[in-house]
Amino acid sequence: MDELYRVEDLHLSLPDLNRKPLFGPAPRIEILRGLNFSVQRGEVLGIVGGSGSGKSTLGRAMVRLLEPTGGKVLFDGRDITHLTEADLRPLRRRFQMIFQDPMSSLNPRHRVGQIIAAPLSLHGVADVAGRAAEALDHVGLATSFAARFPHELSGGQRQRVGIARAIALRPDFILADEIVSGLDVSSQAQVLNLLEQLVADLGLTLAFISHDLSVIRRLCSRIVVLQQGLIVEDALSEQLFASPQHSYFKELLEAIPLPDPDQVWR
């Protein structure tokens, strides 16, 4: 495998609007503090951590929905850290994001077909209708779903539409941010099965953000663990679950509900 992403000494701070004075700018909170890691082409990387650890902020920095305040983000060898939106536009079809809440990320006034077609039209893709239908087929939805509105779908179906919109552009990389956290167990399993199949069929590189270690263990080959904006573990999944080195990850493991009260993590 070769390297698709590289993050070097990444810093990102955001305004603390809760402490903004009446006059002048708000003080800034450092969310990410000097992160270093890479993502190999074809890899499924898990990004985990508790609430406030910075995992979603990291994901948005990787796809440049947020601009880092220090360090570098390199995509396929190109420094995208401070590219303007105009310079980013040709690259955006190569890295896509699937959001946690499909009801807020899918336009409720548009039908499914329009939602999937919109980024295709934006990037000047030929045969928009054909590519949208192909994307629906990839995620296991019949072409009749193109005529439906998001509110007419189940949570799992809406998330499939979000996945279809992301893969329609045939990207190299997809960032999935907590996309199964609001689904029931059955729908979670179906979405995870779908992602595994898409990675295999389409040759995707995937970064999967979650606080749910059971989901991460199932899906990801390698895991980066964040605590308060710092990487405290970066290891292969099997190795990390068998022998975690940092006390924080051990605490996360101990917090996982177990079906058998006598079972312990080893």
Integer Cα distance of 224 and 104 in angstroms: 27
Phi/psi at 221 (5° precision)? -90, -25
Low-confidence residues of the chain: pLDDT under 70 = 1, 256-266
Integer Cα distance of 178 and 251 in angstroms: 20
- On the 0-12 / 13-18 / 19+ scale of CB atoms within 10 A, 37 is middle
Report DSSP state, residue 83.
Answer: -
pLDDT value at residue 266: 47
Looking at the structure of the chain, the number of domains it has is 1
Q: Would residue 53 count as lying in a domain?
A: yes
Check which CATH number belongs to the domain holding 188 and give it. Answer: 3.40.50.300
Q: Would residue 136 count as lying in a domain?
A: yes
Integer Cα distance of 89 and 122 in angstroms: 10
pLDDT value at residue 43: 95
H/E stretch holding 67: none
Q: Would residue 172 count as lying in a domain?
A: yes
Q: Would residue 23 count as lying in a domain?
A: no
Q: Would residue 4 count as lying in a domain?
A: no
Q: Would residue 134 count as lying in a domain?
A: yes
The domain in which residue 122 lies consists of 43-69+84-254
For 106-138, the pLDDT digits (tens) are 899 999 999 999 999 989 888 899 999 999 999
Contact partners, residue 183, CB within 8 Å, separation at least 6: 155, 156, 159, 191
- Is there a contact between 48 and 211 (Cβ–Cβ < 8 Å)? yes
pLDDT value at residue 182: 80
Q: Would residue 117 count as lying in a domain?
A: yes
pLDDT value at residue 257: 60
Phi/psi at 49 (5° precision)? 160, 165
pLDDT value at residue 1: 60
What pTM value is reported for the model?
0.89
Query: Edge-to-edge, what's the strand order for the sheet holding 230-236?
Result: 95-98, 173-177, 205-210, 44-48, 222-227, 230-236
Q: Would residue 92 count as lying in a domain?
A: yes
- Is there a contact between 99 and 162 (Cβ–Cβ < 8 Å)? yes
